[in-house]
Structure 1
Amino acid sequence: MKKYIAIVGSNSKKSTNRQLLEYMQHRYVNDVEIEIVEVAGLPIFKKTRDMAIPEQSKAMATKIDGADGVIIATPEYDHSIPAILSSALAWLSYGIHPLLDKPVLITGASFGSLGASRAQAQLRQILDSPEIKARVMPSSEFLLSHSLQAFNTDGLLIDAEQTKWLDSLVKDFAEFIDISAQLNHTHQEDDTRMADFSWDEGTTDKEVSK
């Protein structure tokens, strides 16, 4: 059985993105193990001279390393991902690189009608950056709009078409992971380049302390 780490991209205590991941965790319990991980509690990203990484980020990286794939659920704030999710991804590319070539499925829930579509597009760009280089499943975002009305009192998705769509994406993601396992010829080179990369090369003491 495959194992996924599902990242809640919000620090809200009543996040519908967390609710979506919990729904997936229970719906696919017989097919895949999904462990939900929180970004709440992480400090805003800041470079330090000793490249100190929060213990929460290290623990998250360890979980990602041991997983077959990652699911990220993001809300949308002002057409972008939340600052806390951006910080989490920055910490996960600061001297550690657990998302390198890691298969990722993007999901998102929003209160409005667009279903976090712009935030998901931005998230895809970030995950594709040279410091992260995750392997995001193409053309596969799950967009849950009007998320406050999307679940019943048992936490189940009300719309049967949405459920069918999500079922198909989860099946495709499992196959995407298998395909991705065959595409790692450059993994070692990328890992070496990232290890040699310096965030502070050519900067002054003043710039490092910003």
Structure 2
Amino acid sequence: MHKFVAIVGTNSDNSTNRKLLQFMQKHFAAQADIELVEIKGLPLFNKPENKQVPAAAQAIADKIDQADGVIISTPEYDHSAPAVLMNALEWLSYYIHPLADKPVMIIGASYGALGTSRAQEHLRQILDSPELRARIMPSSEFLLGHSLQAFDDDGNMIDQTKLAKLAGLFSDFETFVELTKKLNHANEANREEIHDLDWANL
């Protein structure tokens, strides 16, 4: 069984992105062990001179290191991913590199009709940056619009068409994780290149 870390990409206490991940954790329990990880407790990234990341960021990095893959659920604010998620990714690329060559699935929920398409595109670009180098599952957007009405009182997804798409994408992600394990010839070189990046000049 795969082990996945699911990052709640917001600091909101009442987030439908958290509800979406909680639903996945329950619905796909027979397929994978999904652990939700919060990022709202991280301090503001300040590029510390001692090159030490906060204990909370290191704890997230350790969980990612031990996981087979990462699922990130992002809201969309002003056509982009939220600052709190960018803050977490900055810590996770500052002299630690848990996302390097790690399979990542991006999903998102929003109150409006369009879902989080722009935020997901923005997040893909960031995760593909030289400092992060995650392996993002291609052609896999899951956009949950009208998310306030998307779940019943028990937290179950109401729209069966949306659920069928999510189930298909989740199965594809499991396949993507296994395929990624075979794309390992440049892993060591990638990590060495990232390690050699000098944050002082970025």
TM-score (normalised: structure 2): 0.98
After superposition, residues 75-114 of structure 1 pair within 5 angstroms as 75-114=75-114
Q: 5 Å matches for 1:54-133?
A: 54-133=54-133
2:43 and 2:117 mapped to 1: Cα distance?
26
Rounded to whole Å, the distance in 1 between the matches of 2:196 and 2:122 is 27
Aligned to 1:192: 192
Cα shift readout 1:125-180 (whole Å, capped 9, x = no counterpart): 00000000000000101100010011011101110000000000000000000111
What CA distance in whole angstroms lies between the structure 2 residues aligned with 1:102 and 1:82?
22
* Cα distance in structure 1, aligned partners of 2:190 and 2:30: 35
Where structure 2 has 5 or more consecutive residues not aligned to the other structure, the ranges are: none
Deviation at 1:52, TM superposition (A): 2.3
Q: What is the letter of the counterpart of residue 72 of structure 2?
A: I
Please give the root-mean-square deviation of Cα atoms over the aligned residues, in Å. 0.9
Q: State the number of aligned residues.
A: 202
Q: TM-score, normalised by structure 1?
A: 0.95
2:79 is paired with a residue of what secondary structure? coil
Query: Which digits, 9 at most, give the CA deviation of each residue in 1:83-134, with x for residues without a partner?
Result: 0000000100000000000000000000111101100000000000000000
Q: Structure 2: which amino acid aligns with 1:114?
A: L
Task: Give 1:46 deviation, angstroms.
Answer: 1.3
Q: Give the stretch that moved more between structures: 168-177 or 192-201.
A: 192-201
Identity of aligned residues (%): 55
Query: Which SS does the other structure have where 2:200 is aligned?
Result: coil
In structure 1, how many angstroms separate the alpha carbons of the residues matched to 2:66 and 2:48? 27
SS for the counterpart of 1:34 is strand
Deviations 1:40-74 (A, max 9, x none): 11112111211121111000000000000000000
Equivalence for 1:178: 178
Which secondary structure state, in structure 1, belongs to the residue aligned with residue 35 of structure 2? strand
Greater than 4 Å deviation, 4+ residue runs: none
